[in-house]
Amino acid sequence: MKFKLFRAPDGSQGGGSAPEAPVISTPVVTHGAGPVGPTKISARDVSVFYGDKQALYDVSLEIPDKTVTALIGPSGCGKSTFLRTMNRMNDTISHCRVTGRIEMDGEDINAKSVDPVLLRARVGMVFQKPNPFPKTIYENVAYGPRIHGLASSKGELDDIVQISLKRAGLWEEVSDRLHSPGTGLSGGQQQRLVIARAIAVEPEVILMDEPCSALDPIATAKIEELIDELRERYCIVIVTHSMAQAARVSQRTAFFHLGRLVETGPTEEIFTNPRERRTLDYITGRFG
């Protein structure tokens, strides 16, 4: 069962009066490392303020579907802030204000009729530090589908848990201990468990904020492989400090500096032939 972004007036998820997303007719184009899907998320003139302090300035960026987009830039340039605008996580910060427009499939995600809880199921998020719930492996994955009513029987829920763990590349390692605590897994396994938890609620977009920075090189390689597989199904946006990682996993790269989007394009182009001097200086390690 798929739920809608908009709640029906009676508060249910299935209302027929919810506005339909327009059909996007952007053609699929091919860039460097592979095909890039049609636009999934479109940010226009997005600015973010923490109290009086402006953290992002008029960022406009098209994020394609079925593609990995990497956000790079020095510490404090606004990467996490921008990532959080795409699932309204900034709403949870009391002194934070977002202006501009962000559309997903042509719908304004900041519209009053959008329920942020449903939005965050469609736009899942994975953080730097793996954050499994203090529950069993099974419960970590089953929790979301249960609260969103995605399974009508225990058997269906079991299937969702199994499929999600398989897609996250973790099933083989945990199938015999589904009822052990998720926190007992290694860091890399915990991160894949968190990805399985995000996948279980049928997201369309997965936001990842430095998902490998707490992991060793082997666990990192596994997550990178997984990201490459996941892009067949999902729109993925990843923040990374590793130029090598951005080059390995992404098809599009956006470079941020001092709260502004300096340059965006196919990853290969950004890394081999950037248009802006500041991008070149950053990717060659002159600052950051």
Ligand X SMILES: Nc1ncnc2c1ncn2[C@@H]1O[C@H](COP(=O)(O)OP(=O)(O)OP(=O)(O)O)[C@@H](O)[C@H]1O
Select 83 or 198, whichever has its Cβ closest to Mg ion. Answer: 83
In angstroms, the first-to-last Cα distance of the chain is: 45
Q: Which CB atom, from 83 or from 121, has the smaller least distance to ligand X?
A: 83
Distance (Å, whole) CA 55 – CA 203? 28
Closest CA to 44 of 100, 6, 97, 88: 100
The 10 Å Cβ neighbour count of residue 286 is: 10
**Closest CB 159 distance from Mg ion, rounded Å:** 36
Under the binding rule (CB under 6 A), the answer on residue 78 touching ligand X is yes
Answer yes or no whether residue 86 interacts with ligand X by CB under 6 A.
Answer: no
183 burial (CB, 10 Å; 0-12 / 13-18 / 19+) is: middle
Q: At 271, is the secondary structure helix, strand, or coil?
A: helix
Please identify, using beta-carbon distances, which residue of 81 and 264 lies nearer to ligand X: 81
Which tokens hold the place of 240? 């990374």
Yes or no: say if 49 and 55 are a contact pair by the CB < 8 Å rule: yes
Q: How far is the CB of 263 from ligand X (least distance, A)?
A: 16
Site for ligand X in 31-70 (CB under 6 A): 50, 55
CB of 208 to Mg ion, least distance (A): 11
Which of 63, 68, 77, 201 is close enough to bind ligand X by CB under 6 A?
77
Q: What is the DSSP letter of 240?
A: -
Is residue 94 a contact residue for ligand X (CB under 6 A)?
Answer: no
Phi, psi of 193 (to 5 degrees): -65, -40
Q: Which residue is nearest to Mg ion (CB)?
A: 80
Residues in 175-194 that interact with ligand X by CB under 6 A: none
- Work out whether 80 is an interface residue with Mg ion (CB under 5 A): yes
Q: Which of residues 200 and 238 has its CB atom nearest to ligand X in the complex?
A: 238
Which residues would be at the binding site for ligand X (CB under 6 A)?
A: 50, 55, 73, 75-81, 93
Which residues would be at the binding site for Mg ion (CB under 5 A)?
A: 80
